[in-house]
Chains A and B, each alone.
Chain A
Amino acid sequence: MTWQVNRGKIVYSVSCIFVVFLGHLEEDREQCDSEQRVNQTATMEESKLKLYSSWRSSSSSRVRIALNLKGLKYEYKAVNLLKGEQFSPEFSKLSPLNYVPTLVDGDMVVVESFAILMYLEDKYPQHPLLPPDLKKRAINYQKYIAEEVGSDEKLSWVKHHMEKGLAALEKLLKDHAAKYASGDEVFLADLFLAPQIHDALTRFNVDMTQFPLLLRLNDAYNELPAFQDAMPEKQPDYLQS
C-alpha cells in the first residue's frame, strides 16, 4: 500500500492492517513498510471516541458491541455505503482505505474491525475481550472464522451456502461453547458470531432451528444490552441507506 507518510503520522501495521495516526495527509506518496515508525504530532484533539459506521454492516456491529461491553461512549458517524459516502473527501482524508468501520480516538485513527477490537482491548482493558487462558484465547481467534461465514462477497451468499457455513460453526462450537461461544463469559468470538446469526435470521431468513447451539447463543446475546444496542435496528442510520 503506497502511502503519503508525513509529519504527525504513526504507521503501525498488523499484517496488512494499518493504524494511521491522524496528522496531515498530503498529496505526495511514500512507500509504507511493515516496520513501526513514530512521529510526533503537533495537534492534540479532544480525546473523544468517534465511530464511522453503517447500520447494516456486521463488521461495524462487532465494534459497537465491544464499545458497549467496555462502557465506552462514542459519537456515531453514519456512512451511507450505498451512496458511496465512504469516498467523500472528508472521509477519504480520515480513512484513506475508505473502510467502514473506522474508529477515531482523539488523534488515533484505526481501520478494519479486527484492528479496532484489538486497539480497544489494549487501550481500554475493562471487560476484556480475550480470556487469560491461552487455549481459550486461541479458540477465540479461531472464531474469526465466523467472518468467513458472514455476508462476504467472496463466498456465495444464497441461503444454501450460508446454511453450510452455519452448520460448520455449529460443529466447531460444540466442544467449546457453554453459556457463550467459548465458555461462560462473553469474549471476542461472540462479537463475531452475534451479528452473523442476526443476519442469518433477519436478512436471509435461514431456518435456525437446525442449529440449536447457534440459536441458544443468539438467545443469550439477546439478553445482553451491550449486544442489543449494537444491532442494526438500534442504530441512528437504520433504514436510511
Chain B
Amino acid sequence: MAEEVKLFRTWSSPFSLRIVWALKIKGVEYETIFEDLYDKSPSLLQYNPAHKKIPILVHSGKPIAESYVILEYIDETWKETPLLPEDPYERAMARFWAKFGDDKVLTSIVWGVFIKEGKEQEEAMVEAMKNLWLLEEELRGKKFFGGERIGFLDLALGWLANFISILEDVAGLKIVDEDKFPLLSAWMKDFADSPIIKDNWPPRDKMIAKFQALRDEKLAAAAAASK
C-alpha cells in the first residue's frame, strides 16, 4: 500500500520503539514526527484526544493510539513477517504476557524499584523478582518469546533488553542477575543485538541523564511528602 504512514513518537519512549521495530521488520516506509511531551503539538492532541499520549500511528489520515493496538493493526495491515502466531491459543498467550509485561513487570520495576530507595525498594524488588521469574519460565525451551524468531511478545517485552541496564546503572543495583535469570539474560542479549533492533536504541548517555533526573525528582518528592 502506498498510503502515507506517520509515527508520532519521542526520542526515548519504549512504547514508541515497539512501533518502530514493527514497521521496520515489515519494511513499511513511514515518516517520524518527534514530540515534546511538555509541549504537545496540536496534531498530537487532535489525533489522540482520549489519552494525549504517544505513540500514535497515522495511516492514510486515520490515527491509531495505544502501542499494542497499533502493533496488531500493523500485523493485520502488512501481512509479511507476521508478528502474532497463527494458533488462537498462542495468540492469546502472546497478548496475555504482553499485558503482564506492561501492567506488572514495567510497573514493578520502574514505579516500584527504580524510583524508591531503602526498605521500600527492597520490598518492591521482591515483587519485581516474582514478575521476572514468570517471564523466565515463559522462555523455557525457546530462543525468543516468539519461538525461533522475534515476534509480538518480543517486541512487547523488548524494552527490558536495553532499559534494564540503564535503570541498573542509575539506581546502582542489579535487577536482572544472570545467575538468577539465565534465560532472560540470554534473551536480552540476543534481542538487543538482533538486526533492526540494534540500530534503533536511543542514545545511552541521554537515557542515563534522563532517568537520573527522573529518579532524583521522584525521591525528592517522596522525601518532601514524608515531612
Contacts and interface: CB of A to CB of B under 8 A. Distances in A.
Interface of A: 1-2, 54, 56-57, 81-85, 87-89, 92, 96-98, 151-153, 156-159, 203-205, 241
Interface of B: 10-12, 34-42, 45-46, 49, 52, 202-203, 205-207, 209-210, 212-213, 216-217, 219-220, 223
A54 B136 CA distance: 44
Contact of B11 (A83, A157, A205): A83
Nearest to B203: A84
A195 to B, nearest CB: 11
A151 B46 contact: no
Contact of B34 (A54, A82, A203): A82
Contact of B39 (A57, A88, A158): A57
A87 B34 contact: no
A157 B40 contact: yes
Contacts, number: 72
B39 A56 contact: yes
A148 to B, nearest CB: 14
Given A2-B216, A84-B12, A203 B210 contact: no
A1 B36 contact: no
Contacts of B52: 153, 156-157
A82 B11 contact: yes
Contacts of A87: 205-207, 209-210, 213
Contacts of A152: 38
Nearest to A151: B39
Closest CB pairs A-B (n = 5): A82-B34, A87-B209, A87-B206, A92-B209, A1-B220
B40 A84 contact: no
Contacts of B217: 1
B209 A88 contact: yes
Contact of A153 (B12, B37, B203): B37
Contacts of B203: 84
B55 to A, nearest CB: 14
Given A82-B34, A87-B206, A98-B209, A2 B40 contact: no
Given A81-B36, A84-B203, A156-B52, A89 B209 contact: yes
Given A157-B40, A159-B42, A204-B42, 17 more contacts: A2-B223, A54-B36, A81-B36, A82-B10, A84-B11, A84-B12, A84-B202, A85-B206, A87-B213, A88-B205, A89-B209, A92-B212, A96-B216, A97-B213, A152-B38, A157-B52, A205-B42
